[in-house]
Amino acid sequence: MVASQTYPLESAPLTGVAKITTTRHCWMQCRFCDFSQFIPVLFDTKIPPCLPLADAKSRLATMPDSVGLIKIRGGLSFREPFTYFRSLVRTVADGFNGPIQAFSPIEINQWHRVEQRPVRELLSELKWAGATGLGPGGSEILVQSWRDRLSPHRIEATAWTTLAQLGWDTGLPPSAMVLAGQWLSAADIKSHLQILSAYSWHHIEVKMFRSVALQPELEPMHILSLCHLVAETRELLNDTPIYVNEPPGGISHDARIMLTQAGADGFYTTLEAIEP
């Protein structure tokens, strides 16, 4: 008689996330992104303002107590200066006693170029305002050939990683991303992970891709393929924590257990979305 095997009933911890979006308009027009809306450069284009600070403050007051992490994103604004984004971080920090992942190297580069301010100075001011780390936006795929196809307007992969690593010097440890989709070959994924393994990260976020109408061939991953991706990420990035970003609606308890067994250290699930 073969003894039965009992699998664990508990998965890695689940962290509730509140996402604060400054604007849903972005000029990058990345082909995998369902967040940004491209604005044509026309003289009569109406560009809405970013999220008012008063609105952010009032929404934070009603935020669920179970939120353990706040992510602030969407800094590619045509209008608001860096001081707006710094004030937003300060507003969030005044109302939340927890980690605040504020923007990414993409936004840092935008402010550096537009306002001609040193990168380290910008990072130091975000840290002063209350940010505790940098987000992974812009690291979805660091293989330059795929980057040129899917997000041709973003800074090159080497520039992104260089900016991200500066976060360590100012107390804003950077995170990076692995975008899970069937459209990348095994060689592409390995190249991406090898690039990440050459640097130091606070954590890695695995984001499940959601196909959009303009790119129907960019399909999401099957759960078993996702488990393999998490296991491969764990193998190449050693002790770096790995968090799986759950898609809208979440994933099943069994899927979490499978991903935990594959090497995931935790899961992020969105509990609150604050947008303009």
The tens digit of pLDDT for each residue in 176-213 reads 999 887 777 889 899 999 999 999 999 999 987 665 55
Sign of CA dihedral 38, 245, 172, 18: positive
Edge-to-edge strand ranges of the sheet holding 14-21: 100-102, 67-73, 14-21, 266-274, 242-245, 203-208, 175-180
pLDDT score, position 218: 55
CB atoms within 10 A of CB 99: 15
**Averaged pLDDT for residues 45-50:** 78
**Tokens encoding 23:** 């604007």
Which of residues 250 and 46 earns the better pLDDT score?
250
pLDDT score, position 8: 62
pTM: 0.90
d(CA 34, CA 121): 31
Domain locations in the chain as residue ranges: 14-39+46-274
pLDDT score, position 121: 97
**Alpha-helical regions (H) of the chain:** 53-61, 82-95, 105-115, 119-129, 144-150, 157-169, 186-197, 223-237, 253-262
- Which range has the worst mean pLDDT, 22-31, 59-68, 161-170, 197-206? 22-31
d(CA 180, CA 140): 9
**Tokens encoding 275:** 């947008």
CB atoms within 10 A of CB 165: 16
CB 8 within 8 A of CB 58: no
Token pair 């393994």 is at which residue?
197
pLDDT score, position 183: 72
**Averaged pLDDT for residues 255-266:** 95
**What mean pLDDT, rounded, does the chain reach?**
87
Phi, psi of 17 (to 5 degrees): -120, 140
- Which range has the worst mean pLDDT, 19-23, 98-102, 179-183, 244-248? 179-183
Give per-residue pLDDT as tens, 83-109: 999 999 999 999 999 999 999 999 999
Indicate whether 25 pLDDT > 70: yes
Beta bridge partners of 260: none
pLDDT score, position 123: 98
**Tokens encoding 89:** 């971080």
Element (H or E) spanning 73, and its range?
A: strand 67-73
Indicate whether 58 pLDDT > 70: yes
- Which range has the worst mean pLDDT, 116-130, 143-157, 225-239? 143-157
Grade residue 219 by pLDDT with cuts at 50, 70 and 90.
low
Give per-residue pLDDT as tens, 133-191: 999 998 988 988 888 877 777 889 999 999 999 999 999 999 999 988 777 788 989 99
Asked: is 14-39+46-274 a CATH 1.10.260.30 domain? The reply is no
- Dihedral, CA of residue 73, residue 54, residue 80 and residue 214, to nearest 10: 40
CB 56 within 8 A of CB 255: no
Beta bridge partners of 67: 16
